[in-house]
Structure 1
Amino acid sequence: MEGTDDSQEPEVGMCANCGFIAKLRCANCRQAFYCKRECQRDHWKNGHKDQCQPFQVMTSAELGRYMVASRDLKAGDVILKEDPIVVGPKQITEPLCLGCYKRVDGSYRCQKCQWPMCGPACEAAPDHLPECVVGQEIGSPIEIANFDEPNHFYEVVFPLRCLALKKKSPKKYEQLLSLESHYEDRKGTHLYQENQKSIVNFLRNYFFIQEFPIEDIDSSEKSIHTITGIIDVNALEIRLKESEVLGLYPTFAMLEHSCTPNTKHAFNKDRQVTVKAAVDIKRGEHISTMYTHILWGTAARRDHLKHSKYFMCTCFRCSDPTELGTHFSALRCKQCTNGFMLSAAPLDELASWICTTCNGTMTAEEVTDINLKLGEEIEAALAMPVLQSLEKLVQRHAKTTVHPNHFHLFAARHTVLQMYGRDPSSVGQESMKKKEKMCQDFLKVCTALDPGMARLAPYAGVALYEYHLAVLARARQEPDAKQVDTVALKKDVETAKALLQQCIRVLQDEPKDQPEGQLCQVAQQNLAELRQWEATLSSP
Structure 2
Amino acid sequence: MSCRNAHRLNQIVSAFLDRHKLLDPNPSWLIQESSLGGFGVFATRDIEAGEVIFQDFPVILGPRCLPNGPRVCVVCYSNKTLGPCKRVCGLDVCGEECQNSLAHRKECELVRQCSPPGIRIFENLTPIRSLLLDENDKEVVNCLIAHDRDEHGHEVTTLKKLGCQFKEDDEKFMRFVCCVLDANAFEVALEQNNIRGLYPLASLGNHSCAPNSTYVFNKSHHMLVKASLFIPKGSEIFYSYTRLIWGTPSRLYHLYRTKHFVCKCSRCRDPTEFGTYMGGILCKICRGIVVPLNPYKTHARWQCQDCKRVILGKETGELLRLLGVILRDIRQDDFPFMYKFLNGKLRSVVPENNQVAVQVKYKIIKVLGHLYPWNELTEEMLKIKETLCLDLLGLLEQLRCGKSKMRGLLLYELFCCKRESNTRASKGILDPETEGLLKEAASILEYDANAPQEIKCYLDNKTV
Give the TM bin, normalised by the shorter chain: 0.7 to 0.9
Specify the SS of the correspondent of 1:80.
Answer: strand
Query: For 1:525 and 1:134, how far apart are their aligned partners in 2?
Result: 41
The equivalences for 1:280-299 within 5 A come to: 280-299=230-249
Amino acid paired to 1:159:
P
* Compared CA separation, residues 141 and 526, structure 1 to 2 (3 A): same
Q: Deviations over 1:224-278 (max 9, x none)?
A: 3322111111111222235222111111111110112111222233222222212
1:91 is aligned to 2:65: yes
Residue 68 (str. 1) matches residue 42 (str. 2): yes
Q: 1:377 pairs with 310, 326, 340, which one? A: 326
Partner in structure 1 of residue 166 of structure 2: 209
1:402 Cα deviation (Å)? 0.5
Q: Please name the residue that 1:344 is paired with.
A: 293
- For 1:259-298, what aligned pairs fall within 5 Å after superposition? 259-298=209-248
Is 1:199 matched with 2:156? yes
Distance 1:260 1:142, change over 3 A: farther
3-state SS of paired residue (2:73) = coil
1:377-526 to 2 correspondence within 5 Å?
A: 377-381=326-330, 383-417=331-365, 422=372, 428-457=378-407, 459-469=409-419, 471-472=421-422, 475-476=425-426, 493-511=431-449, 514=450, 516-521=451-456
Equivalent-residue separation in structure 2 for 1:121 and 1:268 (angstroms):
21
User: Gaps (5+ residues) in structure 1?
Assistant: 1-30, 32-46, 144-150, 478-488, 530-540
For 2:166, the aligned partner's letter is I
1:286 Cα deviation from its structure 2 partner: 0.7
State the alpha-carbon separation in 2 of the partners of residues 463 and 282 from structure 1. 31
Distance 1:324 1:419, change over 3 A: same
Does the aligned pair in 2 maintain the 1:472–1:496 contact within 8 Å?
no
Alpha-carbon shift at residue 302 of structure 1 (Å): 0.9
Q: Which residue of 2 aligns with 1:170?
A: 135
Report the secondary structure of 1:163's partner residue.
Answer: helix
Residues of 2 paired with 1:378 and 1:226: CA distance? 37
Letter in 2 for 1:400: S
Evaluate the alpha carbon distance shift between residue 426 and residue 387 of structure 1 in structure 2; reply closer, same or farther with a 3 A threshold.
Answer: farther
Amino acid corresponding to residue 337 of structure 2 in structure 1: S
Q: Which has the higher contact order (CA 8 A, sep 6+)?
A: 2
Q: CA deviation at 1:367?
A: 1.4
Match in the other structure for 1:77: 51
- Matched residues in 2 for 1:447 and 1:467: separation? 20
**Within the alignment, does 1:321 sit opposite 2:259 as a pair?**
no
Normalised to the residue count of structure 1, the TM-score between the two structures is 0.73
Corresponding residue for residue 43 of structure 1: none
Q: Is the 8 A contact 1:265 1:273 kept in 2?
A: yes
CA contact (8 A) 2:393 2:407 kept: no
CA contact (8 A) 1:236 1:246 kept: yes
Contact 1:317 1:323 in 2 (8 A): yes
Q: 1:503 to 1:416 in 2, by over 3 A?
A: same
Q: 1:182 is matched by which residue type in structure 2?
A: H
Cα shift at 1:444: 0.5
Q: Which amino acid aligns with 1:86?
A: I
Matched, 1:310 2:275: no
Alpha-carbon distance change, 227 to 430 in structure 1, aligned in 2, over 3 angstroms? closer
Taking the aligned partners of 2:24 and 2:378, their CA distance within structure 1 comes to 58
Paired residue for 2:13?
none
Shift of 1:311: 0.5
- State the partner residue of 2:129: 161
- Does structure 2 conserve the Cα–Cα contact (< 8 Å) formed by 1:113 and 1:132? yes
When the two chains are superposed, the root-mean-square deviation of aligned CA atoms in Å is 3.4
Structure 2 counterpart of 1:533: none
In 2, the alpha carbon distance for the partners of 1:131 and 1:417 equals 42
Within the candidate set 173, 179, 203, 2:144 is matched to 179
Change (3 A) 1:476 1:402: farther
The corresponding residue for 1:236 is 186
SS in 2 for 1:245: strand
Q: Is the 8 A contact 1:115 1:142 kept in 2?
A: no
* Larger-gyration structure (1/2): 1
Distance in structure 2 (CA, Å) of the matches to 1:125 and 1:139: 21
Q: Which residue of 1 aligns with 2:204?
A: 254
Aligned length: 442
Q: Percent identity?
A: 25
CA distance in 2 between counterparts of 1:309 and 1:118 reads: 34
Query: Which residue pairs with 2:313 in the alignment?
Result: 364
One-letter amino acid of the counterpart of residue 157, structure 1: L
Contact 1:103 1:242 in 2 (8 A): no
User: By how many angstroms is 1:281 displaced?
Assistant: 0.4
Find the aligned partners of 1:415 and 1:471 in 2 and give their Cα distance: 21
User: Once the 2 structures are TM-superposed, how far is the Cα of residue 475 of structure 1 from its aligned partner?
Assistant: 4.4
8 Å contact from structure 1 (residues 333, 355) kept in 2:
yes
Tell me the CA shift for residue 326 of structure 1: 1.5
**Corresponding position: 1:123 with 2:71:** no
Whether the 8 Å contact between 2:43 and 2:232 is mirrored in structure 1 is yes
The CA distance in 2 between the partners of 1:139 and 1:200, in whole Å, is 13
Contact 1:102/1:242, CA 8 A, preserved across alignment? no
